Amino acid sequence: MALTFGISMAISSVRSTWVRFGAALAASALALAVAAPSAGAAPADPAAVRVDAFDHALIETMKGGAALGARGRARKLTPAAQAAFDFATMTRVAVGPKWTGMTGAQHEALTAAFTRLSVANYAKNFDSYGGEHFDLDPNVQTRGVDKIVQCKLVVPHDKPVSLIYRMRQTPEGWKIVDVIFDGVSQLTTRRADFQSPVESGGAAGLLSHLETLTEKLLR
């Protein structure tokens, strides 16, 4: 296994990869079966089910490894990511106040670009399989309108990577709106990263920024 939630690392270094992802979704075709499923009983809470399905899709994509290539992994993972993440909400929050002054067409273009960038991050950083699995905590917390789902990426011969998913109810069910790694909100760091291109170039400037980042990840 080899986020800009930036760039090639092995799964044994996934902790530092996620730190870059935070500095530079974060984030659940969903019901893919894998040989190394999440540990424990199947989750009952619908928010946990969503995360568990995305975790399974990640593992299955990792198994495709180099044979798929970065772009192939991105194509394979896109349906699961779109089902798991509320990319429209995430894009709006990451853009910030300038969002309200943009047109509907700009909203759609930026959401699509943000989605591609988020998927590209996963495709780049989860690029091979070495026995990893996700250990999902079935005890889902409720905080206001949100739910909090916690899990660990268990990496052979390395420390587990702890992930926290903030979930929100949508017309399509519970979806991820933020991924927190080591106390760092990936959505908050995305907003910081987007501030300069939005201020200097508006929607067009940010769109160009997102597309450039995505292409770098998929090379």
Structural domains of the chain in order of their starting residue, each with its CATH number: 11-217 (3.10.450.710)
Q: Is the pLDDT of residue 7 over 80?
A: no
- What is the pLDDT, as a whole number, of residue 10? 35
Of 10 and 151, the one with more pLDDT:
151
Which one-letter DSSP state was computed for residue 85? B
Output the pTM of the full model: 0.81
Least trusted range by pLDDT, from 23-37, 97-111, 154-168, 196-210: 23-37
The percentage of residues in the chain with a pLDDT greater than 70, rounded to a whole number, is 81
Q: What average pLDDT score do residues 103-131 get? A: 97
Q: Is the pLDDT of residue 117 over 80?
A: yes
- What is the pLDDT, as a whole number, of residue 43? 72
What would the pLDDT profile of 179-206 be if each residue is shown by its tens digit? 998 788 999 999 999 999 999 999 999 9
- What is the pLDDT, as a whole number, of residue 42? 62
Cβ atoms of 70 and 89 closer than 8 Å = no
Q: Is the pLDDT of residue 6 over 50?
A: no
Count of Cβ atoms closer than 10 Å to residue 101 Cβ? 9
Return the closest-CA partner of residue 25 out of 137, 176, 217.
176
Cβ atoms of 177 and 183 closer than 8 Å = no
Cβ atoms of 149 and 137 closer than 8 Å = yes
